[in-house]
Structure 1
Amino acid sequence: MVELNVLVADLRAESAEIDALVGGLSADDWATPTPAAGWTVAHQVAHLAWTDRQALLAINDEAAFRAELAAITVPPERMDELVDAAAAEGAAQPPAELLAGWRRGRDDLAEILERAPDDTKLPWYGPPMSAASMVTARLMETWAHGYDIADALGVLREPTARLRHVAHIAVRTRDFAYLVRGEQPPAEQFRVELTGPDGEVWTWGPADADQRVTGPALDLCLLATQRINRADTALVTAGPDADAWLDIAQAFAGPPGDGRDAGSRERERRTPA
């Protein structure tokens, strides 16, 4: 288990890298389209800011958060409409206002989560989450949306060891990827062996499992956040269940997305940040 203060420090570092990408952008740059259909750089930051605000509401006023949940009228399979609307509303703000709000919200959230007791259970759009799970989820989203921002700006971000947190969610949400599609998850555990940016191998699951996934950690993170097409990864599977999982891997809450077209790896030819 990673200590909470280490998780929060990694979340702060991930946010700071994205902040460095957008902090000096012109108004025109904020309107740059990203790989997410209909989303500009401003939409991406607005989504991060909105999710931080919702997390703060869940922590500071559980009753108000649950009231908002109860007021949602769209069915679960159309929750992306609510997310799109919130992103569009935030993106309509002046860039300086949007940026300031994101900075303020993420700092407030990090400070609160850093002090949360180990047994804290926070309400959310799915099952309640521990503080550590909330921090990890925020880091995963920040990394994924930051990837879209970097892609839009023609920047290649160098992967860091923080990817381990994203990979952990990708592995832990294996069963969710099936359930959200109305399918039964495999009963057998998988062995997942991923190589991190510095060459360290990260592992999950029993060493003698028949169903296996191996390859670069970056590739599974991109695949499970639907930032890359499976055809563009170097992931290798053993066993039919492991192979089928990579077709549906999903580290984020909500309905299954459409993923990305093959060929998205072309962005890696661009200049590193």
Structure 2
Amino acid sequence: MSTSPTDSVLEGVLADLAAEGDLLETLVADLPEAGWRTPTPAAGWDVATQIAHLAWTDEAAVAAATDKTTWDALVTELIGTGEQGVDLAALAGGAVAPVDLLSRWRTARTDLAAALRAHPPGAKLSWFGPPMSATSMATARFMETWAHGLDVHAALGVEPEPTDRIRHVAHLGVRTRDFAFAVHGLDRPTEEFRVSLTAPSGDLWAWGPEDAAQTVTGAAYDFCLLVTQRIHRLDTSLVATGRDATTWLGIAQCFAGPPGEGRERR
């Protein structure tokens, strides 16, 4: 059986998602109990809470892809609790024994990949934001795994090694430009932007027309840190040209939900 271009793209994202998850699992698998309770840069969240959040969100994505009853119940529950419900689920999930938490996350990761591969091509999955394709869901899951993995690295004093896998985060960051303006109550820009970023490997990644007046340039790693709100705008190498592009770098976020609090300057 031949593989469609869409299938090939999905498989590529899933392979990178698996690699990123494996990297994070290796980092935490042998931690003593005290290591799992180490505070991370996210206020009130320790290492275990970060992993529990990833497990919970992977499970939610599986439900969205395979089980409408479970998905509807999850949405109904969150309507009553809002953003607090996400925190409560992460805190409760992180309170269990680390071996049980790690097993839960492994299962969720495996189930998610299988569910996305089995999802009908072209069909959209329900989500807390707009419905999305299986490939977009895999991309979103990569973004969260990478971003929360950064918090775990920071907590444990381990310097993360940037890889070109972050292109998925950069792509999502560019695609969510208008969303960032909307959640801040601002009109979406009417002009196209040119975003040119230098990858960890030294390659150049670019989006948008070359002759755009509004531009963003700099390190892809800094851009990915910014759109996941893991760095303050002024601590990046990013350069914006144009009023709208400058505004964007101050509000960028590639995750669903209300505006995040961001990070303090170093």
What range describes the TM-score normalised by the shorter chain of this pair?
Answer: over 0.9
Distance of 1:62 and 1:180 partners within structure 2: 28
The structural deviation recorded for 1:70 is: 3.1
Distance of 1:148 and 1:68 partners within structure 2: 26
Distance of 1:66 and 1:188 partners within structure 2: 38
Residues 1:79 and 2:85 aligned together: no
The structural deviation recorded for 1:163 is: 0.6
Distance of 2:232 and 2:164 partners within structure 1: 22
Could you tell me whether the CA contact under 8 Å between 2:66 and 2:115 is conserved in 1?
no
Matching of residues 6-85 of structure 1 within 5 Å: 6-74=12-80, 79-85=82-88
- One-letter amino acid of the counterpart of residue 124, structure 1: W
Q: Any gaps of 5 or more consecutive residues in structure 1? A: 264-273
Percent identity over paired residues: 55
| TM-score normalised according to structure 2 size | 0.95
Q: CA RMSD of the aligned region, Å?
A: 1.3
Name the SS of the counterpart of 2:218 in structure 1: strand
Name the SS of the counterpart of 2:197 in structure 1: strand
Residues 1:124 and 2:127 aligned together: yes
Distance of 2:41 and 2:89 partners within structure 1: 18
Distance of 1:57 and 1:165 partners within structure 2: 23
Name the SS of the counterpart of 2:90 in structure 1: helix
Could you tell me whether the CA contact under 8 Å between 2:65 and 2:119 is conserved in 1?
no
Match of 2:225 among 222, 225, 228: 222
Distance of 2:32 and 2:192 partners within structure 1: 49
Residues 1:257 and 2:243 aligned together: no
User: Aligned residue for 1:267?
Assistant: none
User: Aligned residue for 2:118?
Assistant: 115
Residues 1:200 and 2:203 aligned together: yes
Tell which has more relative contact order, 1 or 2 (C-alpha 8 A, sep 6+). Answer: 1
Q: Any gaps of 5 or more consecutive residues in structure 2? A: 1-5
Deviations along 1:135-193, whole A, 9 cap, x unmatched? 00000000000000001000111111111000000000001111112221111111000
Name the SS of the counterpart of 1:72 in structure 2: helix
Could you tell me whether the CA contact under 8 Å between 2:228 and 2:253 is conserved in 1?
yes
The structural deviation recorded for 1:13 is: 0.3
User: Aligned residue for 1:184?
Assistant: 187
User: Aligned residue for 1:268?
Assistant: none
Name the SS of the counterpart of 1:125 in structure 2: coil
